[in-house]
A and B are shown apart, each in its own frame.
Chain A
């Protein structure tokens, strides 16, 4: 069965500092991987996705993630944090289970940006 682990339920960075949010997955087949962002009182918005093309994926708002098969990781990074990046971030993995695609979300990482 597939699973997603997000290390750190809370991450704090200073404005302008590097953002690194960690995601490790387990899957029996090559998965599709996603990062979503949730701002307060809103739905989730797709940041970026890996679907077996380039291993370095660029998304919206300056975020990017690198798929590393050997490490079963898909960490999310941004070179310089902005106050508007404060939100909850979810990693998700999709693979086939019982004949259909099933998506499993991680438990989320809340990013705090300190001025």
Chain B
């Protein structure tokens, strides 16, 4: 009965590879997000989708491409992985729409990506 689930939990890959991280939420929330947490624990938003529509696209390299096939899923595909992409990636969801933020996030447990 996990609310926001991400797969895989750990991902170790070589530079230059392409990889995907999947996220699913069963809360019925309208909005989903991808966050990156670096080695210093700093959290930075990457993308947000509301009902499959891209709302926030922060200054992220275009090697990162989100895809939302339906409002319960938000996947993250990364091309040509670089050493600096190593981080923990968190998926989150919220019942809030793009112009409100009252309820806050429900986070997944994270995907630790290590690029070697």
Contacts and interface: CB of A to CB of B under 8 A. Distances in A.
Interface of A: 32, 34, 36, 38, 41-46, 49, 51, 88, 90, 94, 96, 99-103, 105, 107-108
B102 A105 contact: no
A21 B54 CA distance: 35
Closest 7 CB pairs of A and B: A43-B107, A101-B101, A94-B101, A105-B43, A100-B98, A44-B107, A108-B41
B57 to A, nearest CB: 11
Given A42-B109, A43-B90, A43-B109, A103 B101 contact: yes
B110 interface: yes
Contact of B105 (A41, A42, A44): A44
Contact of A34 (B56, B104, B110): B104
Nearest to B55: A100
Nearest to B31: A101
A41 B107 CA distance: 12
A46 B105 contact: yes
Given A100-B55, A101-B100, A43 B42 contact: no
Given A38-B41, A51-B102, 20 more contacts: A32-B101, A32-B102, A42-B110, A43-B90, A44-B43, A44-B105, A45-B107, A46-B105, A46-B106, A88-B41, A90-B43, A94-B101, A99-B99, A101-B101, A102-B45, A103-B105, A105-B42, A105-B43, A107-B42, A108-B42
